[in-house]
Structure 1
Amino acid sequence: MFEVFGFDIYIIACLFFVALIAGFIDSIAGGGGMITIPSLLLAGASPLETLATNKLQSSFGSFSAARYFYNKGYINLKESLPNIIIVFLLSGAGTISVQFIDTNALQKFLPFLIMAFGIYFLFSPQVNNEDRASHKRLFILALCAIGFYDGFFGPGTGSFFLLALIMLAGFNITKSLAQAKLYNFSTNLASVLFFAFSGNMLFGIGLIMALGQFIGANLGAKMALKYGVKIIKPLIVLVSFIMSIKLIYENIIVG
Structure 2
Amino acid sequence: MIEPWVYPALTVIAVLTGFIDAVAGGGGLIMLPALLFAGASPIQALATNKLQSIFGTAVATRNYARAGLVDWHRHKLTIALVFVGATAGVLLVQAIDTKVLGLIIPLLLIAVSLYVLFSPRMTDEDAHHQVTERGYAPVGGAIGFYDGFFGPGTGTFFSTSLVALRGYGLTRATGLTKLFNFTSNVASVLFFTLGGKMLWLLGLCMALGAMTGGWLGSHSAIRFGARLIRPLLVVISLGLTARLLSGYFAT
Please state which band the TM-score falls in when normalised by the shorter chain.
over 0.9
Structure 2 runs not aligned, ≥5 long = none
Identity of aligned residues (%): 43
For 2:200, which of 200, 203, 216 is the aligned residue? 203
Structure 1 residue 7 displacement after superposition: 3.5
Output the CA distance in 1 between the equivalents of 2:6 and 2:91: 31
Q: Which amino acid aligns with 2:94?
A: Q
- Give the 3-state SS of the residue equivalent to 1:76 in structure 2: coil
For 2:248, which of 245, 248, 251 is the aligned residue? 251
8 Å Cα contact 2:83-2:141 kept in structure 1 = no
For 1:67, which of 44, 62, 67 is the aligned residue? 62
Structure 1 residue 81 displacement after superposition: 2.4
Output the CA distance in 2 between the equivalents of 1:22 and 1:168: 27
Partner of 1:119: 114
- Normalised to the residue count of structure 2, the TM-score between the two structures is 0.95
Partner of 2:41: 46
User: In the TM superposition, what are the counterparts of 1:22-37 in structure 2 within 5 Å?
Assistant: 22-37=17-32
Figure out how many residues of one structure are paired with residues of the other and give that number. Answer: 249
Partner of 2:167: 170
Q: Which amino acid aligns with 2:165?
A: L
Structure 1 residue 97 displacement after superposition: 2.1
Output the CA distance in 2 between the equivalents of 1:147 and 1:36: 19
Q: Which amino acid aligns with 2:85?
A: L
Alignment RMSD (CA, Å): 1.3
Structure 1 residue 195 displacement after superposition: 0.3
Structure 1 residue 45 displacement after superposition: 1.1
- Give the 3-state SS of the residue equivalent to 1:147 in structure 2: helix
Residue 104 (structure 2) pairs with residue 104 (structure 1): no
Residue 89 (structure 2) pairs with residue 94 (structure 1): yes
Output the CA distance in 1 between the equivalents of 2:233 and 2:193: 31
Output the CA distance in 1 between the equivalents of 2:76 and 2:245: 36
Output the CA distance in 1 between the equivalents of 2:216 and 2:183: 21
Structure 1 residue 19 displacement after superposition: 0.4
User: In the TM superposition, what are the counterparts of 1:166-245 in structure 2 within 5 Å?
Assistant: 166-245=163-242
Partner of 1:10: 5
Q: Which amino acid aligns with 2:65?
A: Y
Q: Which amino acid aligns with 1:122?
A: L
Output the CA distance in 2 between the equivalents of 1:246 and 1:108: 11
